[in-house]
């Protein structure tokens, strides 16, 4: 088994585990009166991230791994853990707002408004670079930027509506 297969396997397992956490958190948030925003773009986001990972499996499984870029990616995983620990059970892959709840203002959320998206931007760009795929990194970074522009607009509007109603 090559290092590339191990890396891709770990990333795949991480993503699947995060989807399970997100599903559990989404169900709990909805049971507590959560309101979902941006349902229309969610399947596109899942498709984008799925295509990114499947494409990496197809293109990178037999490529050597650049250990410097791998170190950067590992650093991004530490940032991801900080984000998830800070937002706790409110973290989900969907946009769920809870009327009456205040925004999380601890951990990286006290530094800037969308730290999870910053980590995702880094991951989308850096993992292909681990395998020497800069054009792949550029294409998916542009697609991800378009998705995040849409998503952040939807999320900001949903949060503003909840704040205005409070």
Instruction: Name residues whose C-beta falls within 8 Å of residue 93's C-beta, 6 or more positions apart in sequence.
Output: 18, 19, 22, 26, 42, 45, 46
Instruction: Name residues whose C-beta falls within 8 Å of residue 121's C-beta, 6 or more positions apart in sequence.
Output: 141, 144, 145, 148
Q: DSSP alpha helices (H): ranges in 32-133?
A: 42-60, 67-87, 115-130
pLDDT band at 164 (very low <50, low <70, confident <90, very high): confident
Residue of 114, 166, 147 lying closest to 43 (CA atoms): 147
Architecture (CATH level 2) of domain 3-165: Up-down Bundle (1.20)
pLDDT band at 160 (very low <50, low <70, confident <90, very high): confident
Entry pTM: 0.93
- What does the alpha-carbon distance between residue 118 and residue 7 come to, in Å, rounded to a whole number? 21
pLDDT tens by residue, 13-56: 999 999 999 999 999 999 999 999 999 999 999 999 999 999 99
95 neighbors 36 (Cβ within 8 angstroms)? yes
- For residue 35, list its beta bridge partners: 97
Q: What is the DSSP letter of 105?
A: -
Average per-residue pLDDT in the chain? 95
Residue of 89, 94, 84, 91 lying closest to 43 (CA atoms): 94
- Coil vs helix vs strand at 103: coil
Supply the pLDDT for residue 161: 83
Supply the pLDDT for residue 166: 62
Rg (CA), the chain: 17
pLDDT band at 103 (very low <50, low <70, confident <90, very high): confident
73 neighbors 123 (Cβ within 8 angstroms)? yes
How is residue 41 written in tokens?
């773009």
How is residue 66 written in tokens?
């650049």
């Amino acid at each position: 088994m090559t290092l590339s297969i191990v890396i891709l396997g770990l990333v795949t397992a991480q993503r699947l585990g995060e989807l399970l956490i997100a599903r559990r958190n989404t169900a709990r948030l909805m049971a507590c009166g959560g309101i979902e925003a941006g349902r229309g773009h969610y399947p596109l986001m899942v498709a984008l991230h799925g295509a990114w990972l499947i494409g990496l499996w197809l293109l990178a499984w037999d490529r050597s791994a650049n250990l410097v870029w791998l170190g950067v990616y590992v650093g991004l995983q530490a940032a991801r853990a900080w984000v998830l620990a800070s937002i706790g059970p409110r973290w989900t892959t969907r946009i769920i707002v809870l009327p009456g709840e205040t925004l999380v203002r601890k951990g990286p959320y006290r530094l800037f408004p969308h730290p999870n998206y910053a980590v995702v931007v880094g991951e989308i760009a850096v993992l292909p670079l681990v395998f020497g795929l800069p054009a792949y990194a550029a294409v998916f970074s542009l697609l991800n930027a378009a998705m995040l522009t849409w998503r952040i607009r939807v999320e900001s509007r949903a949060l503003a509506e909840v704040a205005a109603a409070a």
